[in-house]
Amino acid sequence: MQPADSPAVTEIAVAGEKDGPYGITAGPDGALWLTLVQSGRVARLTPGGDLRTYALDSPGCRPTVIAPGPDGALWFTRYGDHRIGRVTVDGDGTSFPLPTPDSGPFGITPGPDGALWFTEMHTDRVGRITVEGEVTEFGLPGTAPGAYPSAITAGPDGALWFTLNQANAVGRITTSGDVTTYPLPTPGAAPVGITSDGTALWFTEIAAGRIGRISVDGAIEEFPLPDPAARPHAVAAAAPGECWFTEWGGNRIGRVTAGGEITEYALPTPSSEPHGIALGPDGALWAALETGGVARIER
């Protein structure tokens, strides 16, 4: 149940119910950028409500996770046609093929080295792409096939951190390609989303109904949610020790602190399927709702 002092939650329609808003991020232009995974488009939404959508070159490309690049454009994974996409703040798009066929790119993040880093779920690789489109792929030595690397983020230690959904672990890769993995304490937790709060890494355990926190030296804490079937999906850090996440199965937005205090806020529309979440340029949290909208949550 929401506490009496819960933040205001507002929903805004941005697409049809079959378009599937999925990833969301704050762009360098003061707007929110979203992927519409089911219709092959990206959308730009200002905090004031101005909405524009841009069709990509393939309706079936399935744009998924999106992140700002070091070149002032937005970069995103195209899970459907195994490419990395780029769109300028004016809506001009292009894409780059990956060397390994059917790789299933999913997570993407700007790295500390001026490139973008991404995961390849189907081929157990982490990739790096420069802003010119040059791609390098890194295997995951010591990891069994089918590890399913999922989300990825830049850590506070100058490395990249990612979740291994089917290997039940969190991975770390340096910019030179050295990989370390950290098994999770809870079996079958199936981690997905991951973010950095500038001090530690936070991640979701979609199958276990928990939020995890891992220090840069590999120490792991887990925080069980009140609803074990909440299916936490994506996660965003608002400040050191303050993390927000979407509950895909529970139709809620949650907040957890480094001390393990958890607060949950119900979304107005039932079964809205919240996926991506990001800290917006206005200081609020914004979540993509796969049924066609976004939710804004005041902090």
Indicate which residues carry an active-site annotation: 275
Burial of 136 (C-beta count, 10 Å sphere; 0-12/13-18/19+) = middle
270: exposed, middle or buried (Cβ count in 10 Å: 0-12, 13-18, 19+): exposed
Q: Rounded to whole angstroms, how far apart are CA atoms 280 and 297?
A: 10
Q: Which residue has the tokens 């690397």?
A: 149
* H or E element in which residue 180 lies: strand 179-183
Residue appearing with tokens 């995890």: 212
Which amino acid is it at 185? P
Reading the block at residue 282, the tokens are 């206005």
Q: CB of 123 within 8 A of CB of 98?
A: no
Residue of 236, 246, 233, 182 lying closest to 207 (CA atoms): 233
